[in-house]
Structure 1
Amino acid sequence: MGSFSMWHWLIVLAIVLLLFGRGKIPELMGDVAKGIKSFKKGMSDDDADASEPKKTVDHKADETK
C-alpha cells in the first residue's frame, strides 16, 4: 500500500502524454534547461562583479568641466 506499482506509473505517464502531447514535453524540458543556464550565468556574473573593486566618481571634478 505504501508504494505505487508499475501500472500506476504507466497510467500517470499516459495521462501526462495526453495532456501535454509528445512534442511539448521535450520543448518544456529545453526551456527548463535554458532557464537553469541563464540562472547559472547570472550567478557567475554577480560573483565576478562582487570581486571587482568599486570605482568611485569625483563629482567635483565633473562640475568644473
Structure 2
Amino acid sequence: MGSFSIWHWLIVLAIVVLVFGTKKLKNIGSDLGGAVKGFKDGIKDGNESAAAPASTTTAQQQVGQTPVADKTTIDVEAKNKG
C-alpha cells in the first residue's frame, strides 16, 4: 500500500466530475467557503461579545450594583402539566 500516483488521482477526479458534474461541484465549493466564512465571523463576534460583558461585570461588582440581564437573552420558565 504505497501512495497513489498522479494518474490514480486524475482518474478519481474524472469519476467525481462525471458523477456530480462541474456545476454541482462549483456550488459545493462556494457553499463550503460561505460556511467557513460564517463560522469565522461567528467565532470573532463571540469572542468580542464575551470580552465586553466581563469587563462591565467586574465594574458593577466594584460599585456594588447587581448585574443587568443581557438584552439579547430570553428567560423562559417551563411549566409542567400535572
Same fold (TM over 0.5): yes
| Partner in structure 1 of residue 12 of structure 2 | 12
Letter in 2 for 1:56: V
Shift of 1:6: 2.2
Q: Residue 23 of structure 1: SS of its match in structure 2? A: helix
1:5-44 pair list within 5 angstroms: 5-44=5-44
Higher helix share: 1
2:68 aligns with one of 40, 52, 56: 56
Percent same amino acid at aligned positions? 47
Quick one: higher RCO (CA 8 Å, sep 6+), 1 or 2? 2
Query: 1:13-46 deviations in whole A, cap 9, x for unaligned?
Result: 1110111101111111000000001101110111
Which residues of structure 1 form unaligned runs of 5+?
Answer: 58-65
CA RMSD of aligned residues (A): 1.6
How many residues are matched?
Answer: 57
* Superposed structure 1 runs of 4+ greater than 6 Å apart: none
Task: Determine the C-alpha separation between the residues in 1 that align with 2:43 and 2:7.
Answer: 42
Which residues of structure 2 form unaligned runs of 5+?
Answer: 58-66, 70-82
| Partner in structure 2 of residue 63 of structure 1 | none
Q: Normalization by structure 2: what TM-score?
A: 0.61
Query: 1:42-65 deviations in whole A, cap 9, x for unaligned?
Result: 1011111111125515xxxxxxxx
